[in-house]
Structure formats: C-alpha cells, structure tokens
Structure 1
Amino acid sequence: MMAREAILSIVEEMLLSGAHSVEDIKDAGFMVYAANAEYAHCDSWFMIDVDLTEFEGKQQRVNITLPDVLIKRIDGFIQGNRSAYKDRSHFLAQAARHELAK
C-alpha cells in the first residue's frame, strides 16, 4: 500500500509541475527494464497496479446509445474480467484510451 501511495505522490508532482500529462506516463513493462543493463543488479520484479484516472479530471456523465446485444456482450466481458474492469464505464473509458492512443 505504501508503494502505491508513493507512486501516486510522484505522479501528482509530475503533473503539478506541468512537465507531464497523464497520457505521457507509460510503463514499458518489466521485461524492458530487466533487459536494461542499468537494472542488471535486480533479480526479481513485481508489479503494482496503480489507477491514474483520478488525475484525468472531473468525471462527466454522458448519454450514449448502443445496441442491446453489444451492451450484453460488454457486460458479460466485464463479469469475466473483474480484475481489469470496475464497471461498464471503466471498460468504455479504457477502450476509448486504447483507440485514441493509436
């Protein structure tokens, strides 16, 4: 828990300084870091999931229209992936981020 709080504090400072935005923050993954000679002394790695959405701004409610079959598929997918998605809104936001990053 303290590691997550430390990460959030660092991210907050990065954003407050104006030098970075949430979109700038990317994790290359432990395999990239493990292959880096600078980290050769590290023999084990662990991952901490940190949700940065609180730094993206105020939540806004939107009204969208989707086919009922698509909504059922989305809801079914979320039920099977509760560790990755909190709810339908979280899933749609993640899908939008993915598409916009292309």
Structure 2
Amino acid sequence: MELTSIRRWARAAAALAATVLMAACGTGRLVDGAAPVDRLTPGVTTVADATALLGPHTAETGYPNGQRLLQWGAVAGSPSSPAARRVAILFGEDGCMVGVIHAAAQQETQ
C-alpha cells in the first residue's frame, strides 16, 4: 500500500474516532448491530443502497480525494440502560462502498 493511501485511511480513521468520541447522543433510525451491514458489498453497494437499508445517515465527512464517510447511529433504551448503535461506512469517489469502518451495538448498564 502506498504512503498516500495509508494517509487517507489514517485521516478517515481519525475523523471517525473524533466523531464517535464527541457524539454523546445521536438521532435517527436504530441500526441493529452488524446484521444489516452484512448485506452490504464493497465495490457494489452504493450510498442509495445503504440508505435504503439503514435509513438516512446522521453524519457525513467529505475528504479532498472525493471519498465520503457516512455514519448512522442512535442512542435508545431507558435512562438506566441505554443502548448505542453505530455504523460508519466509507464510500469512494465513485459512490460505491469501500468498506465498513465501524459497526457496533452496545448495551450499557449503570
């Protein structure tokens, strides 16, 4: 992998980490862990396909190379036991999925 590609991935990962850390709560449709993400195919799935499956994304980060990092997520549950579900998918400049960067469903107990 060439240095330019490594830098692009590092920037995408850093942006995702910052977004996840800053997001105390989200809005939008609940994403059921990784199950729906299993139906997405790198190089084939488009933004429209992902939106049809997951609903509207809740955050988007664009990169100078034309790639876009789209995120879906929500916080739900009761105040004593919230559940956080988040999915982040990187799309190439052609609008096709590069890969799932993050997919998690977490149940927190207090």
* TM-score (normalizing by structure 2): 0.26
Q: Give 1 or 2: higher helix fraction.
A: 1
Q: Give 1 or 2: higher strand fraction.
A: 2
Task: Please tell me whether Structure 1 or Structure 2 has the larger radius of gyration of its CA atoms.
Answer: 1
* TM-score (normalizing by structure 1): 0.28
Higher relative contact order, structure no. (Cα contacts within 8 Å, ≥ 6 residues apart): 2
